[in-house]
Structure 1
């Protein structure tokens, strides 16, 4: 076993041990529905903010951000900015009112606000799809991490995440995972910060004269062997002669020289290609070939409909953060509305501190890991850089630290999603107690496993952006209008959820299983929020206005629910 593989496995065992130790207290004390779903509403603001940070920093933040910066450059910096800004909007518009409602889940809030079981069921469906889309990158990230570092098959990573999540959530629910998530945020921060400082120091000591913002495109510093794990089509920027063992452009080679003219080429799975030192790195067909100046300039690469894609992605992340069920559920654990507001104020600070470091890894990746641009496996940037820049024991130790942070990200986010989906399903079925909650958790974790073999390799950030898009187009309009507009009706809420959520889910599933035609179809499927979210808001408002005076009587409990909501809105505005 290689030193990096041994370090990675040691780090994984350490993370699992820390996770088990922190969950012991929660497992001993969690026995009621309140313990399982909202930790008895007794989590302090700073502890809760750390737990939210641990829950939000998922595979996309930990692995995907660095990979996106490596591949696309400055344009991708808008995504962490939008994520942090989304928590500011959450603080201003949602956190305190949602906690003051006294609900356990978003579905509870919807029924409490509107007095409609039908709306509750629709919200439950949206919560499930958002959570399942969000679980996919956690599983895939775990599979990529173990595959890159140890050579293990991808399913071993999926199994580790599912097993640990089940052990934590089934035994202690929200009370058990709160301490785990809070501690894991600081583990993740240390796991990216310490290696980043070490690698930046190494880069500076090496001179840094061939920095990532040079005039040319990324080049191999030394003779480099690239193993292609899946069939790939690449763009070769300049003529080059390589040594190939495998199938290139349909022809089989056995270690003989192959001339690759500039342009498009296909390389089969399992092929080894050796590039001479100084060769311009080929890029996977879906990635842009950029020089340093273009890479560092927002909107500089001239991508088709790039302006729409960027703003749509930003809007999806910004609004989607406000509706993420596993993040919102954490605010239910606050003792009061004011405590929820203080919690929400801490979260952007913690996220801003974290997001500095993945950007640095993406920048260094242009020098030391250009082969990832060829294979398209850019999520592995963090995992490979320590070995590339610091061979030997130092690199192995830093790789182990990054592995610990990566699995902390996968596990903490998966735990939050499992609690959110499991609690929502149990409450929707009007079943209370641990048995119903645990059945919902099993369903929450099992559904994405059925999709993983069918969808193939996907970028973690792209999958999370898809989940955020569904949230932005469904739950965000419901929450904002449900809290701040008295005129929202059950018919309007249902119409908005079905329109926005239905279109966003359809776009996500189509994107997972089909390749869209170039042009606007591909842009709209990849980033639909800019079109669908305003449509969802407009539909909700229009149908509510039309049904305001024609809604049937809501039954004996309806008027009291509406009156209570109106009084709450009045108190919020006065505050």
Structure 2
């Protein structure tokens, strides 16, 4: 690989990101500007931004890697990632926008009139957000190490610096433009190399059809169901996706945004899936499954074209890390700024700085492999904590603040204990061990049960009917 060309591609993406952010955020002066882009983002533009921040390291690198590594089991990830937005469309998008909140902790105050519920949901957002940012940093480290040979710690430092430079000055108004541009950059960064590689491979094989057999599924069906529960309900509760719906002008535009997002996300996931099939068919596997996308151009092609395509993929990968990290930083800054720094513009900026520095520092002392698999565990945590409270708060009148707290705490404990047991090797090779490693089928019902029991044992807000009418009335 021509490491200089690949490093230049990464540098160009970072420079353009900062310039676009400064361009988009030069008018950010009010609280509404930095927290929710003055609630003025139109559906098509907002959908592109959601696509930009949602398609993370796990999507860009991990989906192809999982297909290479796990065969048919890996195909469930793009299915689950895309299907979660249907849940958002049907059950969450419009009511969440009508709540008038700036952050999920604000939604808890509006719905439950309970400070403890607001704190619990805010802490859940912080935990999920920081855990989700770590794989983006690890993906950056993997990319820098693979394409340039530089030490891995360079990647997290670059992502952290770019996120701070992009988010802190202009907040949501600046990063919306960045994420919208980066969706289309990421799509092109995979689509163009994929088209060239597939054409080159088909041409080299001649007219003889290629028989492609992915490795058969090795997961028990219940583990696959648990994975899908995690991915679908986890998507519904992702804080950096939910916060984007606050930026729509009204509930109807939030729904239209979600319809467009479903189309954009499905279109994107066809490409890493196709690259996974191509890697298996050609035998062109990277040094690790997650590096296959980065190395495919140079494994299948020679000369300047292979370097140009590899540079495009490397630049797109960094766009994925930066865009998702920026969206998470916005969501975390909203909670930190509103809960700890008075909810002012300056409070948001201080919160954004803290939100970016914590995972950047953690990434320097941790490492990760199997990016999509790690993200699957984080989705299980999100599905067990934020998603049940959000759904019950929007659709069940009896849901109360103590019920929300009980659901969050129970879901977090059961999910965390299960993942910890799996890490220690409990039940390895058995159905029980598989469910511990992918625990949504265990932890989500426990969270819902705790929420329901505690809600029946404690009264909800006296004006619950009025609140629900506000959430559901166009």
Aligned-partner SS, 2:457 = helix
Structure 1 residue 447: deviation in Å? 2.7
Counterpart of 1:98? 96
Aligned-partner SS, 2:399 = coil
Q: Distance in 2 between matches of 1:466 and 1:209?
A: 43
Q: Distance in 2 between matches of 1:339 and 1:497?
A: 30
Match of 2:228 among 293, 314, 338: 314
User: Which one has a bigger Cα radius of gyration?
Assistant: 1
Aligned-partner SS, 1:94 = helix
Q: Given that residues 136 and 463 in structure 1 are in contact (C-alpha distance below 8 angstroms), is that contact kept between their aligned partners in structure 2?
A: no
Counterpart of 1:7? 5
Match of 1:447 among 354, 358, 369: 358
Counterpart of 2:106? 108
Match of 1:32 among 30, 33, 55: 30
Counterpart of 2:267? 353
Distance 1:362 1:210, change over 3 A: farther
Counterpart of 1:201? 199
What TM-score, normalized by structure 1, do the two folds share? 0.78
1:286-341 alpha-carbon deviations (Å, 9 max, x no partner): xxxxxx3x62xxxx34x3x5322211111100011111000000000001111111
1:120 matches 2:118: yes
Q: Given that residues 114 and 490 in structure 1 are in contact (C-alpha distance below 8 angstroms), is that contact kept between their aligned partners in structure 2?
A: yes
Structure 1 residue 371: deviation in Å? 5.3
Counterpart of 1:335? 249
Q: Name the stretch that deviates more: 323-332 or 18-27.
A: 18-27
Counterpart of 1:366? 280
After TM superposition, list the pairs within 5 Å mapping 1:147-158 onto structure 2: 147-158=145-156
Aligned-partner SS, 2:205 = coil
What TM-score, normalized by structure 2, do the two folds share? 0.95
Q: Distance in 1 between matches of 2:26 and 2:162?
A: 17
Structure 1 residue 44: deviation in Å? 0.5
Q: Given that residues 284 and 296 in structure 2 are in contact (C-alpha distance below 8 angstroms), is that contact kept between their aligned partners in structure 1?
A: no
Q: Given that residues 369 and 385 in structure 1 are in contact (C-alpha distance below 8 angstroms), is that contact kept between their aligned partners in structure 2?
A: no
Structure 1 residue 210: deviation in Å? 8.9
Q: Distance in 1 between matches of 2:8 and 2:121?
A: 42
Q: Distance in 2 between matches of 1:108 and 1:159?
A: 32
Query: Unaligned stretches of 5+ in structure 1?
Result: 215-291, 552-557
Q: Given that residues 294 and 310 in structure 2 are in contact (C-alpha distance below 8 angstroms), is that contact kept between their aligned partners in structure 1?
A: yes
Structure 1 residue 457: deviation in Å? 3.0
Counterpart of 1:275? none
Structure 1 residue 502: deviation in Å? 2.8
1:499-556 alpha-carbon deviations (Å, 9 max, x no partner): 0123224445666x755551356423321101111221122112212324xx7xxxxx
Distance 1:176 1:357, change over 3 A: same
Aligned-partner SS, 2:25 = helix
Q: Distance in 2 between matches of 1:510 and 1:424?
A: 31
After TM superposition, list the pairs within 5 Å mapping 1:269-418 onto structure 2: 292=213, 295=215, 300-301=216-217, 303=218, 306-368=220-282, 372=286, 377-418=288-329
Counterpart of 1:252? none
Distance 1:353 1:520, change over 3 A: same
Distance 1:510 1:125, change over 3 A: farther
Aligned-partner SS, 1:333 = coil
1:463-487 alpha-carbon deviations (Å, 9 max, x no partner): 2112211111111111111011101
Distance 1:379 1:212, change over 3 A: farther
Which is richer in strand?
Answer: 1
Q: Given that residues 133 and 463 in structure 1 are in contact (C-alpha distance below 8 angstroms), is that contact kept between their aligned partners in structure 2?
A: no
After TM superposition, list the pairs within 5 Å mapping 1:548-559 onto structure 2: 548=459, 559=462
Counterpart of 1:87? 85
After TM superposition, list the pairs within 5 Å mapping 1:7-86 onto structure 2: 7-86=5-84
Distance 1:547 1:393, change over 3 A: same
Counterpart of 2:435? 524
Q: Distance in 1 between matches of 2:196 and 2:310?
A: 12
1:32-85 alpha-carbon deviations (Å, 9 max, x no partner): 221111001000000000000001000000000000011111222222112111
Q: Distance in 2 between matches of 1:538 and 1:43?
A: 37
Q: Given that residues 368 and 385 in structure 1 are in contact (C-alpha distance below 8 angstroms), is that contact kept between their aligned partners in structure 2?
A: no
Distance 1:515 1:148, change over 3 A: farther
Q: Given that residues 34 and 170 in structure 2 are in contact (C-alpha distance below 8 angstroms), is that contact kept between their aligned partners in structure 1?
A: yes
Distance 1:210 1:370, change over 3 A: farther
Aligned-partner SS, 1:456 = coil
Moved over 6 A (4+): 208-212
Structure 1 residue 450: deviation in Å? 4.5
Counterpart of 1:258? none
Structure 1 residue 209: deviation in Å? 8.1
Distance 1:509 1:33, change over 3 A: farther
Counterpart of 2:467? 565
Distance 1:15 1:211, change over 3 A: farther
Aligned-partner SS, 1:28 = coil
Q: Given that residues 369 and 381 in structure 1 are in contact (C-alpha distance below 8 angstroms), is that contact kept between their aligned partners in structure 2?
A: no
Q: Distance in 1 between matches of 2:311 and 2:146?
A: 12
Structure 1 vs Structure 2 CA RMSD: 2.1
Aligned-partner SS, 1:43 = coil
Q: Name the stretch that deviates more: 161-170 or 12-21.
A: 12-21
Distance 1:130 1:209, change over 3 A: farther
Aligned-partner SS, 1:487 = coil
Q: Distance in 1 between matches of 2:436 and 2:209?
A: 36
Q: Distance in 1 between matches of 2:273 and 2:83?
A: 17
1:426 matches 2:424: no
